[in-house]
C-alpha cells in the first residue's frame, strides 16, 4: 500500500473510525485503483464535504470503478472514478472528437480521461435539468464524479438486465419518454442505451452518460436509432408488442 493511500486512510479514520477496516475488500480495490493524483482529487472532494467515507465497491467496469460513499451530512452518494492507468483512452478520444463541445481537447491520456468524466457530468446535468430520471449530478473534479446514489441503505437498486420490470409496458413507455425528452429538451442522445444502463427503483433510471453526445454530432441519428433498437429488442424479448424502432425514431425527431 502506498504512503499516499495510508495518508488517505488515516484522514478517513479520524472521521468515521467505526467504518474502516484496512483489510476490507473496498480498501483493497481502492489501493489497487487509485494513483496519487486521484488521491489528491479525493482529498479535495473530502474537504469540500462531497465525500466523507467510502465504504462499498459497487462495480468495477471497463473504465471506471463505482463506490458507495457517505457525504458530510451522512447521505449516500455514488462516486464514479475513472482509472487513469487502464482506461481505454483511444476509444474515448474517438467518441469525444465527434462532439462539437470537445473538439479541441488535447490528445493526452490524462486530459482525455478528465474530459471524459467532465462530459459525463455535463451530460447528467443537462439530462437532470430536462427532467429525465437520472442520478442527480453532485460534483466532478478531474477523473472523479459524484452523483446521487440510486439504491437504499448503500445497496444499489438492480439493473434492468438482472431484474426485468414487473410492469413492462409502463417501463417501456417511461424509457421511450426518457429518450425523447433527452433528445428534444436536453438535446442529447444517450448512445449507450441498454438494459445494463437502466436501474429500476422500480421506476427506470437511466445511468452511464459517458457516451451521451450532443444532437449536433453528425453521428447522432445513427446513435439514436441504435438506442431505440436496443429498447425495442429488450422489451420484445419480454413479450411486449412495440412499435418498430423506425417509427419511434420519427416520433422522437418529430418528423
Minimal distance, residue 249 CB to Mg ion, in Å? 23
d(CA 178, CA 163): 20
Angle value at C-alpha 150, between 18 and 230, nearest 5 degrees? 145
Toward ligand ATP, which CB reaches closer, 20 or 56? 56
Q: In what order do the strands lie in the sheet with 137-141?
A: 53-60, 64-70, 76-82, 144-148, 137-141
**208 labelled catalytic:** yes
Which option in ligand ATP, Mg ion, none does residue 84 bind, with CB closer than 5 to 8 A by kind?
A: none
Toward ligand ATP, which CB reaches closer, 129 or 247? 129
CA-CA-CA-CA torsion sign (104, 107, 111, 114) = positive
Q: Single out the catalytic residue among 139, 208, 214, 227.
A: 208
Which option in ligand ATP, Mg ion, none does residue 64 bind, with CB closer than 5 to 8 A by kind?
A: ligand ATP
Question: Which of 85, 92, 81 has its CA nearest to residue 41?
Answer: 81
* Secondary structure element (H or E) that encloses residue 52, with its range: none
**4 labelled catalytic:** no
Toward ligand ATP, which CB reaches closer, 66 or 178? 66
One-character DSSP codes across 89-138: HHHHHHHHHTSGGGTT--S-HHHHHHHHHHHHHHHHHHHHHTT-S-PPEE
Minimal distance, residue 186 CB to ligand ATP, in Å? 17
The residues that touch ligand ATP, with contacts defined as CB under 6 A, are: 58-59, 61-64, 66, 78, 80, 135, 147-151, 156, 159, 196-197, 207-208
Minimal distance, residue 63 CB to Mg ion, in Å? 9
Which option in ligand ATP, Mg ion, none does residue 53 bind, with CB closer than 5 to 8 A by kind?
A: none
- Residue with smallest beta-carbon separation from ligand ATP: 61
Toward ligand ATP, which CB reaches closer, 93 or 249? 93
Catalytic amino acids?
Answer: 192, 208
Amino acid at each position: 500500500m502506498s504512503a499516499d493511500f495510508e495518508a488517505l486512510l488515516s484522514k478517513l479514520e479520524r472521521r468515521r473510525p467505526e467504518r474502516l477496516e484496512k483489510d476490507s475488500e473496498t480498501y483493497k480495490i481502492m489501493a489497487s485503483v487509485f494513483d496519487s493524483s486521484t488521491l489528491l482529487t479525493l482529498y479535495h472532494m473530502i474537504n469540500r464535504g462531497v465525500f466523507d467515507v467510502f465504504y462499498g465497491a459497487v462495480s468495477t467496469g471497463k473504465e471506471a470503478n463505482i463506490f458507495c460513499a457517505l457525504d458530510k451530512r451522512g447521505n449516500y452518494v455514488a462516486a464514479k472514478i475513472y482509472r487513469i492507468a487502464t482506461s481505454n483512452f483511444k476509444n474515448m478520444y474517438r467518441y469525444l472528437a465527434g462532439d462539437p463541445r470537445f473538439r479541441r481537447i488535447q490528445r493526452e491520456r490524462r486530459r482525455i480521461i478528465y474530459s471524459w468524466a467532465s462530459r459525463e457530468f455535463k451530460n447528467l446535468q443537462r439530462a437532470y435539468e430536462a427532467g429525465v430520471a437520472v442520478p442527480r449530478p453532485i460534483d466532478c473534479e478531474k477523473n472523479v464524479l459524484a452523483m446521487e446514489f440510486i439504491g437504499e441503505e448503500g445497496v444499489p437498486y438492480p439493473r434492468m438486465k438482472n431484474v426485468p420490470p414487473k410492469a413492462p409496458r409502463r417501463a417501456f413507455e417511461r424509457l421511450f419518454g426518457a429518450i425523447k425528452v433527452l433528445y428534444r429538451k436536453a438535446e442529447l442522445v444517450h448512445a449507450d442505451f441498454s438494459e445494463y444502463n437502466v436501474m429500476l427503483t422500480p421506476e427506470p433510471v437511466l445511468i452511464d452518460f459517458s457516451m451521451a453526445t450532443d444532437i449536433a454530432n453528425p453521428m447522432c441519428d445513427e446513435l439514436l436509432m441504435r438506442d431505440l433498437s436496443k429498447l425495442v429488442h429488450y422489451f420484445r424479448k419480454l413479450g411486449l408488442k412495440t412499435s418498430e424502432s423506425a417509427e419511434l425514431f420519427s416520433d422522437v425527431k418529430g418528423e
